[in-house]
């Protein structure tokens, strides 16, 4: 606006400045409500109290008391027996007869062990002789099989049947088997070794004996 000039001497009035326009109000943004504070945790439920143990019945109490009395009585009884046994053993050991009885007991035990070992080691055939007799009808003859079942050779062996007829060998090796014909292998000889007579083919055999450097064996023949 242009100021209006007045007359002389008139005061010049200044026009006040116009008030500034207010800026349009902006809509405020919607505020997000703050999250509510978490509530306090719910108190956990307490476990139920265990049921009170049932009191034993009168019968159970009676059985328990009887068992306890039996155990105490047995302990007392066996304790007395143990004490008396220990006393008796001590008295027995204090006697001079104790050493003699102990020597007798050890001696009997040694005899039993020795007899057992002797029975196990004893053999009625220490030479390991195997004998078999076979009768043949056609032609009539008798065969005697003798075998050395030991681990050692028989030297200077002499086989005798019925205590009369004999057959001699310088050596019969271990495991060797001899088939001997009765009327050909056996004979009665004189001091010079000359054959005097031979047994018949159907001679009933009663016994057989074998002598060698390792011992003698004799058996009955049936």
How do residues 26-67 score in pLDDT, each as one tens digit? 555 445 555 555 555 555 556 666 666 666 677 777 777 777
Query: What pLDDT, on the 0 to 100 scale, is given for residue 171?
Result: 94
DSSP letter, residue 174 = T
Percent of residues, the chain, with pLDDT higher than 90: 31
Please state, in angstroms and rounded to a whole number, the distance separating the CA atoms of residues 190 and 195.
7
Comparing 89 with 171, the larger pLDDT belongs to 171
Please, how many CA atoms are within 13 Å of residue 178, restricted to the half-sphere of its CB?
24
Query: What pLDDT, on the 0 to 100 scale, is given for residue 7?
Result: 45
Whether residue 189 has pLDDT greater than 80 = yes
Residues facing 211 on adjacent strands: 158, 216
Comparing 83 with 152, the larger pLDDT belongs to 152
For 13, the token pair is: 């009035």
Query: At residue 9, what are phi and psi to the nearest 5 degrees?
Result: 85, -10
Query: What pLDDT, on the 0 to 100 scale, is given for residue 124?
Result: 75
How do residues 115-168 score in pLDDT, each as one tens digit? 887 777 666 788 899 999 998 888 888 999 999 999 999 999 999 999 999 999
Comparing 179 with 39, the larger pLDDT belongs to 179
For 117, the token pair is: 């070992």
- Mean pLDDT (the chain) is 76
Are 174 and 152 a contacting pair, CB within 8 Å?
A: yes
Comparing 200 with 84, the larger pLDDT belongs to 200
């Amino acid at each position: 606006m242009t100021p209006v000039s007045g007359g002389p001497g008139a005061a010049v009035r200044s026009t006040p400045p116009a008030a500034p326009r207010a800026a349009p109000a902006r809509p405020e943004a919607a505020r997000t409500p703050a999250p509510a504070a978490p509530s306090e945790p719910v108190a956990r439920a307490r476990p139920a109290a265990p049921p009170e143990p049932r009191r034993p019945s009168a019968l159970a109490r009676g059985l328990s008391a009887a068992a306890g009395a039996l155990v105490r009585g047995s302990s007392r009884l066996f304790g007395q027996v143990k004490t008396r046994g220990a006393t008796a053993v001590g008295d027995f050991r204090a006697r001079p007869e104790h050493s003699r009885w102990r020597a007798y007991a050890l001696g009997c035990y040694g005899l039993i062990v020795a007899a057992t070992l002797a029975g196990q080691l004893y053999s009625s055939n220490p030479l390991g002789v195997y004998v078999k007799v076979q009768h043949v009808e056609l032609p009539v003859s008798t065969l005697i099989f003798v075998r050395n079942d030991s681990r050692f050779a028989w030297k200077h062996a002499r086989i005798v049947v019925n205590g009369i007829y004999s057959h001699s060998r310088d050596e019969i090796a271990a495991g060797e088997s001899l088939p001997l014909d009765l009327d050909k292998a056996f004979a009665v000889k004189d001091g010079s070794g000359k054959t005097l007579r031979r047994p018949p083919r159907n001679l009933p055999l009663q016994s057989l004996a074998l002598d060698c450097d390792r011992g003698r064996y004799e058996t009955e023949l049936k």
